[in-house]
Amino acid sequence: MSFTNPVYTDNFPDPGAMRVGETWYAYGTNGPTGNVPVLTSPDLVNWKPAGDALPQVGKWATAGNTWAPEVIEGPGGTYLLYYTARSTKTNVQCIGVATADQPGGPFVDESEEPLVCQADEGGSIDASPFTGDNGDRWLYWKNDGNAIGQPTYLYGARLSEDGRTISGESKQLLVNDAGWEAHVIEAPQMVRHDGRLYLFYSANAFDKEEYALGYATCEGPLGPCVKAAENPILHTSPAAAGPGHGFLVTTPAGESWLLYHAWPPSAVGSVAPGRQLWLDRVDWVDGRPVVKGPTVEEQPAPN
């Protein structure tokens, strides 16, 4: 089977994904279909809408700004959804966690307070969970410093065993100090490949064609991390503008693929079609991830 990008032509920003059984689930930033729109696919290529994973945000939040959700398996056959929403107390974006018995939800956030809320640093967004080989849980996010004219950092912290609280001090891992990053780095995802840790992230203005994706290598889950010299590894092409907020997945055959959003070059910043869902292969060359994209030509589908 072969395919061409984009793999989903409607607006679906900030994708996170996971595979349960024979089904892939993708989770996106809020839109007309709900707080956390869900897509399902048997093959990463053919996606269908599957409702709203989070019908109600937590008591601490107001609906309408539910961003960048990601889901992992929790203890006892549960699932944990980490999401960003607007705190009613602080009026900034903060991070919450909700639980469900099914990967598609409905997820419920029973907390009275957000999981992470750095109000004095502009807020906290783009939560991304990571489970180590030994079962330890970690969470990564960014402070929303660009919202208040401050630097943006990517943070990491250990999670409790149940994944619902922070169990250690948070640590700054990266800051927006490279020219291509401009005023913001965001959208972290920690990935383990061949025993090494890679922290993928995006940078620059999300609604501009300068938005792009890079990575750093890390010595441990809380660093230290060093940015790759070849960054960015995914950037605007004639076919796709502002590609980023990627999520790397591994197929059952062991292939690496990157789901990410991108604007049509003629519609950067648009509501419709908005940020479409793209999929491109990632090859590992001498320990470095190389993204084969943005690719608009027909290409073999994932195995």
**Residues annotated catalytic, as ranges:** 14, 186
Query: E-assigned strands of 76-195?
Result: 79-87, 93-100, 124-131, 137-143, 153-158, 171-175, 185-193
Report the C-alpha gap between 215 and 201 in whole angstroms.
6
Decide: helix, strand or coil at residue 70: strand
Let me know: does 134 contact 192? Beta carbons within 8 Å.
no
Let me know: does 273 contact 9? Beta carbons within 8 Å.
yes
* Residues 6 or more apart in contact with residue 156 via CB below 8 angstroms: 138, 139, 140, 170, 171, 173, 188, 190, 221, 222, 223
